[in-house]
Amino acid sequence: MSISCYQLNIFAMQSRINKYNKQLMDISDRRALIANSQNQIIKKYQGDYEKDTTGTANSATWDQDPQVILLANQDNCLDMESKSIETQLNALKNNLEQMEKSQQDDIKNGVAKLA
């Protein structure tokens, strides 16, 4: 395989790796927003312990709030999506390493044949 074909494939793989990394960063940002939303809802249930005794009773039921359940489900979906992307990313990185090694081997073999 010629060097230009290797380079083209390597650049394409690096571009896909960058795309996957961006998707993982976006997922991480969305998960942070979900965590912040959950924390705000939980704070509403907790109340002020020093002034409000109902905060203790309400804090036990925060996990049954429909919004918290919805946010938890969204977080789980993002987690599964993240794991899927990470799997694809790892496979692509392995392929890239093999391609680079193959390119180096072909260059060494080509140089040896020319000498």
Q: What is the pLDDT of residues 69-99, one digit of tens each?
A: 999 999 999 999 999 999 999 999 999 999 9
Question: 115 pLDDT exceeds 50?
Answer: no
Mean pLDDT of the chain: 86
**Dihedral of CA 28/29/30/34: which sign?**
positive
Out of 4-8, 64-68, 77-81, pick the least confident. Answer: 4-8
Distance CA 1, CA 102 (A): 10
- pTM of the full predicted structure? 0.77
Distance CA 30, CA 35 (A): 9
pLDDT value for 96: 94
